[in-house]
Amino acid sequence: MKYSLEKRTPEKQQSDCIVLPLFEDLQLSPESSYIDQASSQSISTLIERKDFDAKAGSTMLLDGNNTSHTRILLIGLGKQDAFNAATLKKSMVAAANTIKKTQTKTALVSFDGVSLKDCSQSWLMRFAIEAINDSLYIFDDFKTTKADKSELNTVSFYCGDSINSAEAEKAISEGSAIAAGVSVAKTLGNLPGNICTPTYLATQAKEIAKNNSTVTTTILDEEKMAALGMHSLLSVSAGSEEPAHLIIMEYKGGKESDKAHVLVGKGVTFDSGGISLKPGESMDEMKYDMCGAASVFGTMTAITSLKPNINVTAIVAAAENMPDGKATKPGDIVSTLSGQTVEILNTDAEGRLVLCDALTYAEQNHNPASIVDIATLTGACIIALGHHTTGLLGNDDALADELLSASTEAADKAWRLPLWDEYQPQLDSNFADMQNIGGRPAGTITAACFLSRFAKKMKWAHLDIAGTAWVSGKNKGATGRPVPMLTQYILNKVN
Ligand code: BES
Ligand code: MN
Ligand code: ZN
């Protein structure tokens, strides 16, 4: 898709479809008024008849009449005082959903008269690009009859003449890069577990290095991990025919001597629960248990295209959790790379077991400036925050605040939960240094408490994306979250 900023007013341009946003007060912007007049009052007539209410997400497609545009698409933005990034995204998804059913190849979106609170005008484009990408995303690799692809190939934006061009270009390139990263994360998430194995993820990481001179990829196999002492990570893949891999991708945009910011992704390519087997219903959704890793791949994709002057290291702990004669059993005790021992009371609490060794590996080998892990870690996080909000925990207030700001700016919601010491005793074990479960109360917090024991020497944050990484039900699919937040977090460090 080609996105661009247009400085010429819409009446001086031609397109297959002009998109005109309207608030519920139904006041036409100067450009909408012009189109209205040129089209024999087609818009004001509709408004007078109360045929279009401009509720957020509503659309109405009209003939372009005598204007220089083949079609006119009205989109509702809802109430002006309630307008925010989420409503803008909803409206733009609705617009793209309508456009993709037509033969429209070129669209012009007029943001004249529209502004977002606390944001400059260019953010409208950024969010619109992400929304259009969401709407046009198709995953039909495994369908023999392919979905009809949309004809749309060019979207231009008109934002009035006061817009700062440099800022607008930046918004367009950031929006496009984030959109591409979100698509990468969605596709990795959507791939079935028989394709997207730990080895597949390792191959993808090598591809990224092959295509980008700024990235080097290193893969540790099971033998190497065993030699290092990563027995916690290896306990998860013990029952699987698929070998585990530790995948390291280093992006060097900064000085050689700059410490890297590290992103660690949970890459459990299928989580059956292991010997603590999960119930059968919806077990297929546990193919998404690598969405933390997918978000790391997506963020690296965005970063390699934007090339910020910063060093970012991605580490993916990739394993498959299966029951088998060789599988880890409840009660088994393993030693971690850190030297601490863990009594595994539930083999379904495997995410923390792969992540703890990845955290220690990062600490020992990469001396991180900061470290953020991203994981579909606990069902409890869905109970706490539902499907709208990512859980954020960590040991460094400044880092947590940076992530929360990035989350707000990127319209990719997150909320911090406490990590107070009072919760730590829930992990006490009779036989080892700790056990891997903390009982039912505060499951998201005790999971983070477990990880915190491996991140003591680092500025560390943890994102629990169990509720936000995919949607269930009829429109089942990965969301690509939290690629927007993570990319913004990295960009904010250089901007
Ligand atoms: N991958 C799951 C968490 C999960 C469950 C994410 C449902 C999204 C939807 C994780 O490995 C897991 O099984 N966690 C257990 C932990 C428990 C055994 C302490 C859980 O949440 O039930
Ligand atoms: Mn599990
Ligand atoms: Zn899991």
The string of pLDDT tens digits covering residues 364-412 is 999 999 999 999 999 999 999 999 999 999 999 999 999 999 999 999 9
Alpha-carbon torsion angle 354, 360, 365, 371, nearest 10: 90
Q: Where are the alpha helices (DSSP H) in 100-152?
A: 122-136
Q: What pLDDT sits at residue 23?
A: 97
Distances (CA, A) of 124 to 41, 83, 115, 128, 220: 27, 12, 7, 6, 42
Residue minimizing CA distance to atom 16 of ligand 1 = 349
Q: How far apart are CA 477 and CA 193, in angstroms?
A: 14
Q: Which atom in ligand 1 lies closest to the alpha carbon of residue 467? A: 8
Ligand 1 centroid from CA 348, angstroms: 7
Ligand 3 centroid from CA 64, angstroms: 52
Q: What is the pLDDT of residues 61-100, one digit of tens each?
A: 999 999 999 999 999 999 999 999 999 999 999 999 999 9
Q: What pLDDT sits at residue 480?
A: 98
Residue minimizing CA distance to atom 9 of ligand 1 = 379
Q: Which atom in ligand 1 lies closest to the alpha carbon of residue 443? A: 19
Ligand 3 centroid from CA 350, angstroms: 6
Q: What pLDDT sits at residue 147?
A: 86
Active-site residue, selected from the candidate residues 170, 252, 278, 413: 278
Ligand 3 centroid from CA 235, angstroms: 14
Ligand 2 centroid from CA 349, angstroms: 5
Residue minimizing CA distance to atom 8 of ligand 1 = 466
Sign of dihedral through CA atoms 242, 355, 323, 141? negative
Q: What pLDDT sits at residue 120?
A: 86
Count, in order, helices (H) and strands (E) of the chain: 14, 19
Q: Is 352 an annotated catalytic residue?
A: yes
Sign of dihedral through CA atoms 487, 488, 490, 495? positive
Go through 292-323 and write b for each residue having 16 or more CB atoms within 10 A of its CB, e for each that does not.
bbbbbbbbbbbbbebebebbbbbbbbbbbbbb
CA of residue 76 relative to chain centroid, distance? 26
Residue minimizing CA distance to atom 17 of ligand 1 = 349
Q: Which atom in ligand 1 lies closest to the alpha carbon of residue 348? A: 13
Sign of dihedral through CA atoms 228, 424, 355, 261? negative
Distances (CA, A) of 244 to 157, 237, 240: 46, 6, 9
Active-site residue, selected from the candidate residues 71, 352, 453, 459: 352
Structural domains in the chain, sorted by start: 2-160 (3.40.220.10), 182-494 (3.40.630.10)
**Ligand located closest to 269 CA:** 3
Mutation to probe ligand 1, out of 232, 269, 272, 378 (largest number of atoms < 8 A from CB):
378
**Regions of the chain where pLDDT drops below 70:** none
Q: Which residues lie closer than 8 Å to 94 by C-beta, 6 or more apart?
A: 57, 58, 59, 75
> Measuring from each residue's beta carbon to the nearest atom of ligand 1, which residues come in under 6 Å?
271, 289, 346, 348-351, 376-380, 437, 443, 466
Mutation to probe ligand 1, out of 270, 290, 291, 348 (largest number of atoms < 8 A from CB):
348
Q: How far apart are CA 225 and CA 54, in angstroms?
A: 58
For the record, the structure tokens of 318 come out as 């990739």
CA of residue 408 relative to chain centroid, distance? 14
Q: Which residues lie closer than 8 Å to 379 by C-beta, 6 or more apart?
A: 443, 466
